[in-house]
Structure 1
Amino acid sequence: MSRSILAASALVLLAAVAVSTAIGTTSFSSATYVATSANSATVRASSDWTPPTVAMVAPSGTVTGTTTVSATASDPESGVASVQIQRQAVNADGWTAICTDTVAPYSCAWATGSVADGQYDLRAVAVDNSGLTAISEQVRTVVANNVVVVLASPGDFVRGNVPLSATIHGGSTLSWTVTMEYAAAGTTQWRTACSSSSVVNGQVGCTWATSGLVADASYDLRAVARPTVGGSYTSAVVDDVVVDNSAPVVTMTDPGTPLRGTVTLAATATVGQNDSGIAQVVLQYAPATTGTYRNACVIAAAPYSCRFDTTTVADGSYSFRAVATDNAGNVTTTAAVTGRVVDNTVSSVSVEDPGAFLTGTVAVQATASSTAGITSVRIQRAPTGTATWADLCTDTVAPYSCAWDTTTAADGLYDLRAVLTDGSGRQTTSTPVTGRQVDNAPLRGVDVQSANGGGTAGRVTSGDSMTFTYSRTVAPGTVATGWTGGSLAVTARFRDGTVTGVGTGIKGDTLDVRIGTTTINLGSVNLKEDYLKSGKTVTFNATLTAATVTVNGIDRTVITLSIGVMASGTNSSLRTVSLPAAMVWTPTSAVRTTDGLPCSTAPVTEAGAADREF
């Protein structure tokens, strides 16, 4: 084989690796390609593919004057090149460097007199000698070169008698009276929540009685400390604390009777407009003979349902109920649905739900039991609303399942069922799983990913980005009128899941993209976490670009949304998320291929391991 053919093969392999990396992950190595001549090429791999580890050391107590701040960092491969220690005032947005150190121990002197007294977050940014970067978790401290009052947050959601506490820094020689105050969020009409003159070692607390006295709503809180010598000191505001003394409304769905095999237990749960949101719903069952309830399942997000294997309990009469708890701790228990009989002494069969959208070859499974033994289980399909049942397969050995090639059926809605034949020749037919959408549209969404642009991890900031990958090339003009794929100025709109018209819940904050007041045809993304405070909407100036990548010989369109500066809303409306989640993107059928085929509306779950977005 000639050297030119070898070089060409290497280039093709390198291009395939690059495309695969761009689609499957959001982090990149520092591997470099070096062309040595027109007929040959070499690939040089980095010796370090792992970022350094770094941790910020929390200062001990309150800081004053010039104090030493430090971090620890290590990198066993290429070594640590530098560590920068940064500060950010609490509820501000934007990190400021205190110092950069290149030699361990990584530390510096922080002249705290150059900043305003108050609470600060500190973090460390480490860079290794291969150029890889890591950012530490944040630690919090208080700068108190004068008297400073710090009000502790009672939590995002409160109810009943709420303990409030504050700390007075720098006033240990004085006698104090401290008043905790509240005002409707965003206003300055302050009212007294409670007060106390019992200050011990700078600590003071009192109880805010909210039940029956304070309307369910969002409030700002502050502490005002007054020494006996006169004057006053006011803490920073703790904003958007939701008072919720209203119990959630929950209803247990009747599971029916008799119950056999695996059945669905379900409940509905709602809260008012100013309530804190549902934290969880517990579905429970109790034998009629004991009345002692046990948990069938605990569900943290709607729909509040689960599959319950009745063969795990003894046959007999049972009661079922649901217990809903909101984020403030209010609890509601439904009336019991009684007299529901579990009877697994006869044949039972059920089809497991394969999902709302079916594409390509999918597994359809059934569970079955019979005291007379099982001869066979047939799994069938029929167009929804018809009785035209066709066999997918017949299985004689558990687990009973079929590999259904949905491309052999026309796109549309289908019902699924299973027919059990027992050892006596009797047949039992399952309750159908209805309205499952077969969707083999050639254009569909295949992935959605976000990337941190160097700001606070888990918080939407300028420089962050999101990519949307389609299975084929799309016509940019069907995404936004007149767009050709070049840089397009847009607005990225982030809405809390409790905003009217969104309705995705406390951990269902959403993103869509707009030009002016018109939402473009990029669909919407459920971020599956709580990135905004209750009822808030924040927009960012952004740009949209489209590119074509080739995967396995197929051209695909990747659309990138790059987040710019905030356009509306406030930094205090944003939350920093610490929990991983997998986003879900719902495309629109208005987007089409270059030859006019519409896009599937099947939801797309973020590929890869669950992580924090942005």
Structure 2
Amino acid sequence: MTRTKGTPVTGAALRNVALAALAALLLAVFALNGLQTSSAAFMSQSANATNTASAAVDWTPPTVGIVTPGAPLRGSATIAADAADAETGIASVVVQWQSVGAASWTTLCSTASAPYRCSWDTLSAADGAYDVRAIATDKAGYATTSAPVRVTVANAFTVVLADLDEAVRGTTPLTATLTDADPRATYGVRFEYSVADANSWKSVAGCASIAGSASCTVNWATTSLASGDYDVRVVAWPTARPTVVMISELSSVTIDNVAPTATMTDPGSVLTGTVTLAATPADAHSGVASVAIQYQPSAGGAWTTACTIVDEPWSCRFNTVPLPYGRYSFRAIATDLAGNSTTSATITGRLVDNTVSSISLDDPGAFLTGTVQLTATANASAGISSVAIQYSPAGSGKWSPVCTLAAAPYGCAWDTKTVADGSYDLRAVLTDSHGKQTTSAVLAARRVDNAPLRGADVQAVNGGKAGVIDAGDMLVLTYSGRVNPASIASGWDGSARAITARVRDGGITSGSNDLFDVPNTNLGSVNLRGNHVGLWTTAQFSATMTATTETINGVPSTVVRVALGGLTSGSVRTVTTTAAMIWTPSANATDLVGQRCAATPVTESGPLDKDF
């Protein structure tokens, strides 16, 4: 403000200046921060004798909507609205109506307090369709107009469209029924359809004149229409007063004249027990309603439904056990909600086999010599076609037949002299009447040894202190057949003979492999697999050697026992570890006809122990 020299400044002028400054400040704040709203319902005011400034705090319009009536309106009907304003509150709600397509609205009532309801005497209006709306104004002066709601005044009659299926195809019937109609009058009925929500109605057909107590049914051919969602309604009017039109509630329906797609998932082969059958269906319009999975013997015959599935995942568990052995075809049939169906391509030649077979081969022993009996035990629910007994060089998987048998008993003699000495695997193979093969467990590493004599086993018997070689201990050597005792020791007949036994250190590189032998005999040597004497030392014992003939696995065999007496030289250690001894027989020992013993090492059988 510009002051002129000598002009006094009054209090009112100062207040005006202050108000102007406040207004400028508020405008600056709004410019910087944008328009602010508040839910507090109050006004702020400052005034002097000549100036007043007010600020409203409600910048948001109210919300309002008509409550849709649940049925046609008759007599005195209530029209209700929902209105709300979270800031200054509702000042008034005005309810209005108009005939469908009219250019102006008629106010039904205005109300200032909830519940916002108006009573409408529908007897003053002609039967037919009307639009109703509400206008809400809040206390700050903002107003909102609701979307119009279509209602029907039906004091004379109503028309009802019968429910339609959710999805239809081909030709579908449409039926309309009049209620509260004058039985003495006649009425016209017309069915109409529109693409969903487009409100662009096309006529189907109808009934030009029916009695008030009758109904109207026409067939709607949908095949020429694009698949998709449609609205359907029925329009009715008295033939004497065609301007009085009644329109039914809308019925939404999907037209689907396109079949779904279906793909059968390959269930695999061989099918045994309970398996999973699955398909992949699709439908772009009404959606898939069900999938039926079917099977058929490959030789022909009727298709049988294994399962019908009505939801994802489109699969089921199917028990194949009741099906006869054989090959089968599988397919899937998908049906959509409109009733269209498609059959998938067929998957053929899948074998169902629930036959049970078992086979085992009796163990002929670890060492095989001469002619050996091989015997299998076999069973098959489908019947046995053959049983083959086979051999293979150990670990090679190159199987050769010993024999093939068509009937029980499933056994044959194997002349092991037809193969080279060595380690062999044995097995039996069952073939049932359907050609299905079942293989037994493999008997691995059975040694064929056709030398006339060999070592069969080596054992130690503790007769003194555990873990120490001392008096009372005994070494037992078993041959595979009868031995000439004189070939083991000159002039020996197998009776008790005093000998010297010794234990020698296995050497610096193998100190735990001490050797036991009997000098001046052809017993060979035994690797004790333990550290019984000191490095590079030897311990000697007085001992007694005997030979007896015993039956081992049904074969007369020679068993040599070396019983230890006292220690005569050297010293021994206590051994705490367990191990399996290894006996290497001497090739100078012979059988009763003079054939030499094989020098093949033999490992101590049975559980690991400390030996002495």
TM range (shorter): 0.3 to 0.5
Looking at both structures, which has the greater relative contact order when contacts are Cα pairs under 8 Å and sequence separation is at least 6?
1
Normalised to the residue count of structure 2, the TM-score between the two structures is 0.34
